[in-house]
Chains A and B, each alone.
Chain A
Amino acid sequence: MVTILYSIATLGVLGLIYGLGLAFASKKFHVHVDPKIEEINEILPGVNCGACGHPGCSAYAEAVVLKNEDIDKCAPGGDEVIKHIAEIMGMEASSADKKIAVIHCQSGGKDNTFFRYKYQGIATCKAAILISSGPNLCNYGCVYQNDCIAACKFDAIHLDDNGMRIVDKEKCTGCGACVIACPRNLIELVSSKKRVHILCTSHDKGALSRKLCGNKTACIGCMLCVKKCPKDAIEMQDNLAVIIYDKCINCGLCADVCPTSAIFDPLKEVRAKKKAEAKAKAEAAKKILEEKENTVSKTEEPVKKDV
């Protein structure tokens, strides 16, 4: 009987002490946490990719609330998340440009790369470039390993049949993991609205870079594009033409004049089609006009005769 009493009393008192202690502690050691932080944290994608420059999603949420961090830093979340954060913070949402990774090299596949030697070491670019400046002849180009693919958390970079790395524009969130991963610094985050890219990073002199490029699409530094650009958006940087994306208007004139096709313009065909259509239309209109004029002049003449 005594044992039962002792047990009840002991455990009861223990529980009471602990309970009171915790209650007291929760008051005494109360840390005020802004409920907004929790809310924003729940909206964020939770992939902890670090594109915002903070160690994780919760750190970014905290920075937004406490340190007035910009609300449009979350690349994977996109417009949707920015809108929600703006709602919580009571701010206007400025729709941010979606940024997409662009690989500035057209070489790096099975049959469009010139190799110095056959690389059989650890399958990463970082290891490959340590041996005689990499397995490919071009010291600036893609080394035919796949660090960018390994770095991508969103499965947005794929290999095509030729072993070239293709960025999936839909899946790419612009987190920048591949930019950091590429030891040749070939990848750049560019606004998805910019469509014309110079797909070469070679600073070699024209003749050399043309010789070394397995795809024959090296920038040879001829400066035709620099002269052609109506907005002065292309600059020469050590034998390499570089687009200043802030000025670029996607006109595609540079791609037309580039003698080595180093400049990539996905709208080229669309533009050509449009041009052809416009031409056809103009011609058709001309024809109709001419026909009309002919008929008018034919009808006018008899009138004159009547008078």
Chain B
Amino acid sequence: MEFVAKIFSMAIAAIFVQNFVLARFLGLCPYIGVSKKLDSALGMGMAVIFVMTMASTFTWLIQTYLLVPFKIEFLQTIAFILTIASLVQLVEMVIQKTAPALYKALGVFLPLITTNCAVLGVAILNINEKFSFIEAILNGFFAGLGFTLVLLLMAGIREKLEKAELPKSMKGMPIAMIVAGCMALAFFGFAGLKI
């Protein structure tokens, strides 16, 4: 029961309180770039959930069984980047062969997030928070979920904004930035949650 409670609090923290985009400000590039349309935002979100979970799994293994025993933790960043990049490549190939439909749905988003800082961020955070293996995987999954949630919210708002009557100078990116700011403020409201 205690474990379930811990997982639950971790989920709330990863999705709302410490949301990767709006509280930690990681992965802002896809947040602004891919939030123009709802369906592409959904595709991107799915890809991020997938990659974050995979990356959490493998980087935790690398850290625990390679970097720590050899006392070379300072190589964390480069080793993780290397791992994530090749992992995504491998996954892309496997998906293309075995599940063409999924490959088409994810499309360009899969290679795009290879070097997304949010993915590296979740990998490093897992180590810093001293999560166990299972916890690290779940944290990766929840972080991806939080990212997807925010991306979808943003895409929904921006689709409406397309049709809104705005001053010409505010159209497109400027109003997106303002909306992003407002959303970040709103999400800081979750900071009061104590679990």
Question: Hey, which bits of chain A sit against chain B, CB under 8 A?
Answer: 3, 6-7, 10-11, 14-15, 18-19, 21-22, 25-26, 29-31
Contact = CB atoms under 8 A, between A and B. Distances in A.
Given A3-B71, A6-B72, A25-B94, A11 B86 contact: no
Nearest to B107: A58
Nearest to A7: B72
Contact of A10 (B67, B86, B89, B90): B67
Contacts of A22: 86, 89-90, 93
Contact of B97 (A3, A11, A19, A29): A29
Interface string B41-76: 000000000000000000000100011001110010
Can you list the 4 inter-chain pairs with the closest CB atoms, starting with the nearest? A18-B86, A29-B97, A29-B93, A6-B70
A14 B87 CA distance: 12
A29 B75 contact: no
Contacts of A21: 86, 90
Contact of B83 (A6, A7, A14, A30): A14
A152 to B, nearest CB: 15
B78 interface: yes
A18 B83 contact: yes
Contacts of B96: 29, 31
Contacts, number: 48
Contacts of A30: 97
A231 to B, nearest CB: 46
A100 to B, nearest CB: 27
A31 B100 CA distance: 10
B127 to A, nearest CB: 16
User: Which among B79, B83, B86, B100 has the highest number of chain A CB atoms within 10 Å?
Assistant: B86
Nearest to A4: B72
Given A6-B72, A22-B90, 8 more contacts: A7-B72, A10-B72, A14-B79, A18-B82, A19-B86, A21-B86, A21-B90, A25-B93
B65 to A, nearest CB: 11
Nearest to B163: A150
Nearest to B91: A25
Contacts of A31: 96-97, 100
Nearest to B75: A7
A15 B86 CA distance: 9
Given A6-B71, A10-B66, A26 B83 contact: no
12 contacts: A7-B75, A11-B75, A18-B82, A19-B86, A21-B90, A22-B86, A22-B90, A22-B93, A25-B94, A29-B93, A29-B96, A31-B97
A24 to B, nearest CB: 10
A10 B70 contact: yes
Nearest to B90: A25
Given A10-B66, A10-B70, A22-B86, A29 B78 contact: no
A111 B183 CA distance: 46
B177 to A, nearest CB: 26
A42 to B, nearest CB: 16
Given A3-B71, A25-B94, A31-B97, A11 B89 contact: no
